[in-house]
């Protein structure tokens, strides 16, 4: 053992007042160094204080150590150099079972921390808790925007026309799930103030409305609609063509001519389902038929396909009814695919809004006659494109969208809108009203004659177009300008220019009576005598009916055959517009 004992004593758990140690130091007895603090002990009897001195109470100790307490508190009577160290050694040797020290070690950390540190710790914990536990905030929903965006599955849908439709049996109508909007937003009617010179103006919304809302009552328009399969509607007469032809001025001879024409048309269908003005490109013809269309029109597959399909539809033949289901199925699928690909624009290279109007008629009629839901989308897209392409200033159509119009292109586009209306597609009333403004700008003689782009010079052909449009837009049967214009055309008779004769034939058919009987006899004679009967051209038309204008040269034999066939289908293709209506009551302005 070392001769010197290091007086290391455990630090007390709570501060004690060192009053009891002062007498020992005063007596000159060596005391424990100031830095050495004895282990806490049990309270011991304090020495009696001197007279006049306040008694000092010893602090309670953590563990019993009477010997150490006495050695520390009582003053030594005689020098004892090693007493204090021995007492310290004794205190150091006390066993660790002192329970109070163990308790203080458990919470001594927080008690030893200063108040500012404890406060900071509490705030940090509170902030972290607030950051982790956040109240749920309702997200503000973005504005709901409704657009006419084509579905990505539409193209696949119309490929089904080639893959799924049977070729021999009528197809059962498939029901597709309708897309129901989650919210219905009611938009209040607002008055739109626009600048008539705004070239960029365009219809913003589409409104389903009666097509002839200018003056004709709704019952007039319904007379041209009719239920599919009926005999008193616009398309209904097509299901009983032979009887309707016999009742309205046709007969077995006109029906036989139509059959020959449809057979020729089917033979000239292209492998992809469409048609072409160029007979050299047709594998089944290879140029054996003369008078292909000009080179500028050869690439316009849209117009060629539409013109070929319209005579089949005019006879009542669709991809579900009749002997040409396969041909019509492939043709309408070709036309629908072009329309979907162009997002409503049906024509491609070589085409124009003339082609778009023809496609709109074909798609709308096919959809109306079959109620095939797969055709609803391309038909509506084609109609939408026509409405958006209207010249917003003058209200017409020409070759390119929003170009100042001409009466010829306006004729095809308005007839497409009429067909779309008959198919219960959406037609914007504003578009129809703007068309009336265009006709007003090109009319002469108070509306009895019509020019091309203005009213400086009217022509019989364009007058026939303008007067037919006036009929569909609500003019009464006894309108003086209408009567006067039709009398002029009837006096001249069919001209051999099928573009003129096609519109004039419809005019006379709607007027009925003597004017129709006289015109019909001349028209039938001209077409029946000039239908080709030779070789691969048998059933078609060109020679004898290609005079006047440039349409016959542009579209060639395919164009003239289509127009002639539709003229011979006039007996049932559309029912007379004014039949059964009282001029005095129903059409009074």
pLDDT in tens, 238-259: 878 889 999 999 999 999 999 9
Whether 305 contacts 334, CB under 8 Å: yes
pLDDT, residue 119, reads: 82
Question: Quick check: 309 pLDDT over 70?
Answer: yes
Residue predicted with more confidence, 576 or 210: 576
Whether 539 contacts 264, CB under 8 Å: yes
Length of the chain: 589
| DSSP structure string for 91-151 | HHTS-S--HHHHHHHHHHHHHHS-HHHHHHHHHHHHHHHHHHS----PPPPPPP----PPP
| Residue ranges per structural domain of the chain | 198-584
pLDDT, residue 201, reads: 35
pLDDT, residue 584, reads: 35
**443 three-state secondary structure:** strand
Max CA pair span of the chain: 163
pLDDT, residue 188, reads: 41
Q: What percent of the chain has pLDDT over 90?
A: 54
Interval 374-414: pLDDT, tens = 999 999 999 999 999 999 999 999 999 999 999 999 999 99
- Mean pLDDT across the chain, nearest whole number? 75
Least confident stretch, 80-89, 384-393, 412-421, 498-507: 80-89
443-444 vs 449-450, strand pairing mode: antiparallel
Least confident stretch, 167-176, 476-485, 536-545: 167-176
pLDDT, residue 496, reads: 95
pLDDT, residue 295, reads: 83
Interval 130-170: pLDDT, tens = 777 765 555 555 555 444 444 444 444 445 544 444 433 44
User: Rounded to whole angstroms, how far apart are CA atoms 166 and 434?
Assistant: 43
Question: Quick check: 282 pLDDT over 60?
Answer: yes
Whether 374 contacts 157, CB under 8 Å: yes
Interval 537-561: pLDDT, tens = 999 999 999 987 788 999 999 999 9
User: Rounded to whole angstroms, how far apart are CA atoms 498 and 306?
Assistant: 17
pTM over 0.85: no
Question: Quick check: 182 pLDDT over 60?
Answer: no
Cα–Cα distances in angstroms (integers) from residue 212 to residues 69, 408, 414, 427, 433, in the given order: 121, 20, 11, 11, 10
Q: What percent of the chain has pLDDT over 70?
A: 61
Does the domain at residues 198-584 carry the CATH identifier 1.50.10.20? Answer: yes
Whether 328 contacts 376, CB under 8 Å: no
pLDDT, residue 536, reads: 95
User: Rounded to whole angstroms, how far apart are CA atoms 233 and 112?
Assistant: 101
Binning pLDDT at 50, 70 and 90, where does residue 234 land? low
Cα–Cα distances in angstroms (integers) from residue 320 to residues 332, 419, 573, in the given order: 12, 20, 18
Q: What is the mean pLDDT of residues 229-237?
A: 47
Binning pLDDT at 50, 70 and 90, where does residue 113 land? confident
Q: What is the mean pLDDT of residues 17-42?
A: 42
Burial 50-87 (b: 16+ CB within 10 A, else e): eeeeeeeebeebbbebeebbebbbeebeeeeeebbbbb
Q: Which burial class, exposed, middle or buried, applies to 409 when counting CB atoms under 10 A from its CB (0-12, 13-18, 19+)?
A: buried
Whether 564 contacts 541, CB under 8 Å: yes
Q: What is the mean pLDDT of residues 288-309?
A: 93
Residue predicted with more confidence, 438 or 55: 438
pLDDT, residue 297, reads: 80
Question: Quick check: 331 pLDDT over 70?
Answer: yes
């Amino acid at each position: 053992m070392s001769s010197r004992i290091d007086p290391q004593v455990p630090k007390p758990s709570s501060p004690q007042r060192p009053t009891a140690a002062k007498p020992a130091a005063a007596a000159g007895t060596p005391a424990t160094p100031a830095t050495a603090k004895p282990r806490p002990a049990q309270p011991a009897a304090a020495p009696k204080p001197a007279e006049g001195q306040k008694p000092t109470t010893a602090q309670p100790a953590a563990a019993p150590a009477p010997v150490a307490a006495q050695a520390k508190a009582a003053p030594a009577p005689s020098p004892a150099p090693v007493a204090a160290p021995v007492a310290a050694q004794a205190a150091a040797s006390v066993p660790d079972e002192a329970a109070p020290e163990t308790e203080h070690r458990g919470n001594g950390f927080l008690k030893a921390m200063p108040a500012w540190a404890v406060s900071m710790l509490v705030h940090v914990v509170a902030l972290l808790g607030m950051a982790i536990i956040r109240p749920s905030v309702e997200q503000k929903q973005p504005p709901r925007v409704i657009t006419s965006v084509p579905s990505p599955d539409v193209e696949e849908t119309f490929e089904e026309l080639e893959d799924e439709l049977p070729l021999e049996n009528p197809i059962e109508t498939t029901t597709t799930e309708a897309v129901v909007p989650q919210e219905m937003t009611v938009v209040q009617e607002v008055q739109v103030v626009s600048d008539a010179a705004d070239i960029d103006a365009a219809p913003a919304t589409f409104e389903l409305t009666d097509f002839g809302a200018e003056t004709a009552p709704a019952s007039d328009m319904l007379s041209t609609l009719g239920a599919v399969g009926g005999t008193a509607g616009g398309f209904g007469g097509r299901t009983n063509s032979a009887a309707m032809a016999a009742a309205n001025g046709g007969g077995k001879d006109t029906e036989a001519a139509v059959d020959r024409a449809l057979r020729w048309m089917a033979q000239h269908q292209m492998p992809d389902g469409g048609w072409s003005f160029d007979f050299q490109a047709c594998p089944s013809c290879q140029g054996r038929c003369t008078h292909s269309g000009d080179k500028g029109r050869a690439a316009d597959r849209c117009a060629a396909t539409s013109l070929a399909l319209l005579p089949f539809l005019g006879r009542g033949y669709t991809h579900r009814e009749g002997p040409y289901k396969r041909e019509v199925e492939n043709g309408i699928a070709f036309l629908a695919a072009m329309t979907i690909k162009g997002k409503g624009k049906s024509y491609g290279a070589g085409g124009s809004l003339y082609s778009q109007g023809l496609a709109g008629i074909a798609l709308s009629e096919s959809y109306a006659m079959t109620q095939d839901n797969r055709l609803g989308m391309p038909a509506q897209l084609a109609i939408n494109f026509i409405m958006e392409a209207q010249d917003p200033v003058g209200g017409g159509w020409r070759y390119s969208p929003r170009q100042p119009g001409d009466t010829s292109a306006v004729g095809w586009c308005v007839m497409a809108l009429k067909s779309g209306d008959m198919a219960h597609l959406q037609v914007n009333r504003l578009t129809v009203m703007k068309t009336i403004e265009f006709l007003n700008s090109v009319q002469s003689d108070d509306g009895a004659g019509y020019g091309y782009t203005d009213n400086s010079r009217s022509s019989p052909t364009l007058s026939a177009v303008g007067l037919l449009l006036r009929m569909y837009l609500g003019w009464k049967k006894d309108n003086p300008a209408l009567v006067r214009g039709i009398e002029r055309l009837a006096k001249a008779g069919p001209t051999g220019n099928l573009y003129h004769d096609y519109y004039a034939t419809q005019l006379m058919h709607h007027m009925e009576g003597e004017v129709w009987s006289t015109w019909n006899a001349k028209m039938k004679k001209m077409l029946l005598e000039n239908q080709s009967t030779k070789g691969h051209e048998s059933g078609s038309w060109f020679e004898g009916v290609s005079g006047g204008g440039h349409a016959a040269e542009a579209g060639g034999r395919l164009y003239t055959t289509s127009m002639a066939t539709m003229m011979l289908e006039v007996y049932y293709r559309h029912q007379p517009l004014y039949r059964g209506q009282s001029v005095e009551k129903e059409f009074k302005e």
